Amino acid sequence: AGMTVGALKDATGAAASTLSHHIRFLSQTALIVQEKQGRSIICRADFERIQSLANYPTKECCADAPSEKEHVQ
């Protein structure tokens, strides 16, 4: 799937310059993938990478924290 930059602009109501800034950041961090189709650019979320990033704090940063079971006892 994915959306064109124009469709993203319409869906979010964001100013073109603001949207461009966010898309550039998301693309540079590989959270979205961009594909040129004719004159349009299609943006797609990389859900595996987003999930991996979301899981990082609990797997790495909180690895030494006691589990909920240890809190209950």
Q: Which helix (H) or strand (E) holds 42?
A: strand 40-45
Q: Say if residue 70's pLDDT is above 70.
A: no
17-45 residue pLDDT tens? 999 999 999 999 999 999 999 999 999 99
Provide, rounded to the nearest whole percent, the portion of the chain with pLDDT above 70: 84
pTM of the predicted structure, to 2 decimals: 0.70
pLDDT of residue 43: 97
Alpha-carbon distance of 7 to 42, in angstroms, equals 9
Which pLDDT band, with edges at 50, 70 and 90, does 2 fall under?
A: very high
pLDDT of residue 1: 82
Alpha-carbon distance of 3 to 73, in angstroms, equals 49
